[in-house]
Structure 1
Amino acid sequence: MTNQFIRFKLDLSYDQYLAVYQGVAKTVVTIADDGRRIVFPAGNIQRYLTKSGIQGHFEMELGAGNKFVGIKKLA
């Protein structure tokens, strides 16, 4: 089976992401470009957090059995 790639946009404010550190939120829920609802651990995008939050277009890679491989920010 080949890996699956899911593209999506995020526009989270710093305060919205701060809820993760406070233990209020543990997951990110968004709609992929193809219309699928995706849910993943918020820690998977932590490295993209800036003072303004997390914004941009991202691509998530899933391997066999829909196992998380990684997320990268697209240009």
Structure 2
Amino acid sequence: MKTLNVMLSLSPEACRAYYEGRAEQVHAYSTDGRRIAFPAVALRRVVTREGVNGIYCLQVSDQGRLLGIHRVANLPAS
């Protein structure tokens, strides 16, 4: 199993498109600069009323299948 950390900052309105199924994939960059895509349904596990904001750890199988997602940190203050 591999892990990837991604920074996500999505407003509640942006999350709605993912939640309602109008968008199937989330495109993001890992903290080490790789461009990744993962199924939007995974956001349902981490979305709050404020959207999705923070650094999240994606657990990925050796075959590239998303196994889990969880928040590991807040985004740094700007």
TM-score scaled by length of structure 2: 0.82
Letter of the 2:46 counterpart? Y
Q: How many Å separate the matches in 1 of 2:18 and 2:70? A: 20
Q: CA RMSD in A?
A: 1.3
Q: 1:61 is matched with which residue?
A: 59
Contact 2:46 2:70 in 1 (8 A): no
Counterpart of 1:14 (choices 12, 15, 21) is 12
Identity of aligned residues (%): 32
1:72 Cα deviation from its structure 2 partner: 1.3
Q: 2:76 is matched with which residue?
A: none
Q: 1:27 is matched with which residue?
A: 25
After the TM superposition, which segments of 4 or more aligned residues of structure 1 sit over 4 Å from their partners? none
Classify the secondary structure of the residue corresponding to 1:65.
coil
Letter of the 1:67 counterpart? R
Give 5+ residue unaligned stretches, structure 1.
Answer: none
Aligned length: 73
TM-score scaled by length of structure 1: 0.85
Cα distance change of structure 1 residues 14 and 5 upon mapping to structure 2, 3 Å threshold: same
Higher helix share: 1
Give 5+ residue unaligned stretches, structure 2.
Answer: 74-78
